Structure 1
């Protein structure tokens, strides 16, 4: 049955659901941002190493997060039908698949130095990044479990607790980093290793908090009762939806990770400037990501009811909100680049002028992809709500790997455009994805709601 709602009504509903999710993503981002800022204060070599290590870790994290992201639309759809049993089955098998993935991914963390060296990174940066990853890599286990449980709660529209738990984690991370990186409050001065230990402690705090909430507030779902019992049918469904989502997301992330590798070829200062600008662009992307999550939840709910009209109107509103925010960030990136970059650098850093010069140019290019980056994020969110993941995966791989990465290499190195050329490749890949995915949603996917499963 169609749920009548005006456009202002959709705006209100999206903001009520979305603002806590956006805040949660910003708080989550603050965890890695804290590492970048504090290690930038500690030293340029440490900043370059954590930039490389974070990009490496995030590729593995986001691939495994496909199962958590699959939980969100699946739970939203069954919750629309008040099917508590399926809510439990979906979430539990999402946790199972995440644990299995972590076991398979850990060797890549342990032997990361060899992999990074093979990718052509400088030996000193590779060795420092690998030291970080051999410790921080163990945080993959709690991080992915937390993401599954946050997706479960968000799909049930319990987004405020997601925000509060993430804020708690961000606060713990800042305190632990300040103590362990610099040796404050009687703690040992551990430098980059302090950031690695702090990240694990942060993820464990998040996991404990979200598990306690689920057990106390939603006991009817009995998520951990007889947790060891397999549910092969539902495991297969989550796996079938989650693998394409993971590959789609990692194809985008790998575009940025490949750019970090290429920046490493251009030198430590260039890599450090790239890391700062990526951090700024990633912070603004958290808004689009939060709106994308809302698109998934509300589209998934409408999909569960087979309510096409409600879905189409909500899709227009969430896309419009993303567009408005993108225009605001474009203005900020073009008008105040140096103050933004300076937030990450000490005033007496000898490399400061070079980093500012490179970073200002990169931030101008980052302004170019704000519109298309938001568009592809919203389109992916809507398509996931419809549980349409296979074709979007192919579109993403084509856009990012076949178009984006080769374009970055050709412009940056064959045409000698350097860092600017590498970032122009990012713009090209994101633009292709935005066009293809929006066309998929409005041209085919939404027209089938109410007629047949996609």
Structure 2
């Protein structure tokens, strides 16, 4: 019997880790993709109104997303916290519930100042030198869109909870429904269909509010009704304070928020730099960025899976498991982005045609600029994938402060500094901005990977 047992060896642990990671990651990837498609749908339909409407909405959307990404970074701390709690004690209920509740409290706390900021979008854009008519339309769009951020954050926290339990497929189902609903809402509200008045760009913002409310409500029903989740009673006695866990979440989450905020806002600043060049550069930037954002959802999902898988092994104090969980996600993420880089190089005209008719009057320059931006985005793809998975790996180890410093150096000092210098001092214009972004992301990717490789030497392992 012993020899028979030896003839059937246990599965290779690396292969098993790859299987578990992909099983966890693919619903997260598709969920991220569907959320990106919601933004892409807004851009697509606003683009049908005209290039200037698209430019205005892009300026407003980038400002709002900079705020939303900061907030999302804060509540992202709930993922490694819940994962490590489950790894430490598989049947933990109380500690997981404590983290979930205080993540919601933190979301409500952090969103208020950003609502005040976004209410003044038009004035902010004018202050930064944007054209008054673009700033006015951007302000109209954001006056509605801003209210969608809180339900979106609550959806993210609920998704973190079910992901920590390695059951993320429900987030995918709800996200797919949301994409279809958002397209319907936008079509009706932007263009005045089905008996609804035509609101133009503000209609896209209203549609986003309705869509994110739908996503949060759907996910809340799942965790309340599903037998696997309802034993946690996530919404019970929600008013009770838990200041110890609230502070712990802020301590871990604030550096993540700053890191993600620096990354998100760098694209907002890039859009502002494009606005200082011309409206065509803003529109072309919006198209190239939407395409890059769609492919980014894959390594982002793998980074989220890495946070959970590394976090679980961190809770178990399994050093070999930590190594496998991190490297599997990293290889999968960077390999995918290398393949997408080839697509950007080989088929730019096809990709751009999804968003804009290059033959239409006034669109030729936008299409030409978008092609040039995509050429740089091909390099950008690989380093962007590497840095986001690297950040996810380190978050699983509850390491967030030093990666925040890396982000500040890479995204702002190098990314914006090099980009602005090339755009305005060297006369590269929009190509210079994108070159700077790629340079900054490359530096961050190298630093994240180096820190991961030194994790034992610098005391990150339990």
What's the TM-score, normalizing by structure 1?
A: 0.96
How far does the alpha carbon of each residue in 1:77-135 deviate from its partner, in whole angstroms, 9 at most, with x for none? 10121221100000000000101111221111111111111111111111100111111
How far does the alpha carbon of each residue in 1:210-232 deviate from its partner, in whole angstroms, 9 at most, with x for none? 11111112221111111011001
Show the counterpart of 1:305: 316
Partner of 1:185: helix, strand, or coil? coil
2:27 to 7, 16, 20: 20
**Contact preservation (8 Å) 2:33, 2:294:** yes
How far does the alpha carbon of each residue in 1:359-417 deviate from its partner, in whole angstroms, 9 at most, with x for none? 11000000011111111011100000000001111111111111111111100001111
Q: Offset of 1:148 from its aligned partner?
A: 1.2
**Contact preservation (8 Å) 1:14, 1:294:** yes
Show the counterpart of 1:45: 52
Distance in 2 between residues matched to 1:298 and 1:286, nearest whole Å: 18
Partner of 2:194: helix, strand, or coil? helix
Show the counterpart of 1:324: 335
Distance in 1 between residues matched to 2:360 and 2:102, nearest whole Å: 49
**Contact preservation (8 Å) 1:150, 1:162:** yes
Show the counterpart of 1:33: 40
Q: What aligned pairs does 1:405-424 form with structure 2 within 5 A after superposition? A: 405-424=416-435
Distance in 2 between residues matched to 1:435 and 1:351, nearest whole Å: 41
How far does the alpha carbon of each residue in 1:132-159 deviate from its partner, in whole angstroms, 9 at most, with x for none? 1111111122111111111111111111
Q: 1:304 to 1:271 in 2, by over 3 A?
A: same
In the alignment, is residue 375 of structure 1 matched against residue 382 of structure 2? no
Show the counterpart of 1:89: 98
Show the counterpart of 1:296: 307
**Contact preservation (8 Å) 2:358, 2:367:** no
Q: Offset of 1:352 from its aligned partner?
A: 2.2
Distance in 1 between residues matched to 2:383 and 2:360, nearest whole Å: 35
In the alignment, is residue 60 of structure 1 matched against residue 67 of structure 2? yes
Q: 1:151 to 1:446 in 2, by over 3 A?
A: farther
Q: Offset of 1:5 from its aligned partner?
A: 5.0
How far does the alpha carbon of each residue in 1:152-206 deviate from its partner, in whole angstroms, 9 at most, with x for none? 1111111100111111111110110111111122221111011011000001101
Q: Offset of 1:325 from its aligned partner?
A: 0.7
In the alignment, is residue 287 of structure 1 matched against residue 294 of structure 2? no
In the alignment, is residue 71 of structure 1 matched against residue 82 of structure 2? no
**Contact preservation (8 Å) 2:383, 2:442:** yes
Distance in 2 between residues matched to 1:318 and 1:90, nearest whole Å: 25
2:138 to 126, 129, 132: 129
Q: 1:348 to 1:403 in 2, by over 3 A?
A: closer
**Contact preservation (8 Å) 1:388, 1:445:** no
Question: Which contiguous aligned blocks of 4+ residues in structure 1 show a shift greater than 4 angstroms?
Answer: none
Show the counterpart of 2:164: 155
Q: Offset of 1:6 from its aligned partner?
A: 2.2
Q: Offset of 1:444 from its aligned partner?
A: 2.7
What's the TM-score, normalizing by structure 2?
A: 0.95
Distance in 2 between residues matched to 1:224 and 1:171, nearest whole Å: 28
Gaps of 5+ in 1: none
Distance in 2 between residues matched to 1:317 and 1:91, nearest whole Å: 28
Distance in 2 between residues matched to 1:265 and 1:354, nearest whole Å: 16
How far does the alpha carbon of each residue in 1:319-342 deviate from its partner, in whole angstroms, 9 at most, with x for none? 111122112111101111011011
Gaps of 5+ in 2: 1-9
In the alignment, is residue 145 of structure 1 matched against residue 154 of structure 2? yes
Distance in 1 between residues matched to 2:118 and 2:70, nearest whole Å: 14
**Contact preservation (8 Å) 1:99, 1:145:** no
Show the counterpart of 2:113: 104
**Contact preservation (8 Å) 2:399, 2:460:** no
Q: What aligned pairs does 1:223-242 form with structure 2 within 5 A after superposition? A: 223-242=234-253
**Contact preservation (8 Å) 1:48, 1:272:** yes
1:315 to 290, 302, 326: 326
Deviates more, 1:96-105 or 1:26-35: 96-105
**Contact preservation (8 Å) 1:252, 1:400:** yes
How far does the alpha carbon of each residue in 1:226-262 deviate from its partner, in whole angstroms, 9 at most, with x for none? 1011001000100101110000001111221111000
In the alignment, is residue 181 of structure 1 matched against residue 173 of structure 2? no
Q: Offset of 1:4 from its aligned partner?
A: 8.2
Partner of 2:197: helix, strand, or coil? coil
1:273 to 284, 294, 315: 284
**Contact preservation (8 Å) 1:41, 1:346:** no
What's the RMSD between the two structures over aligned residues? 1.4
Distance in 2 between residues matched to 1:342 and 1:225, nearest whole Å: 50
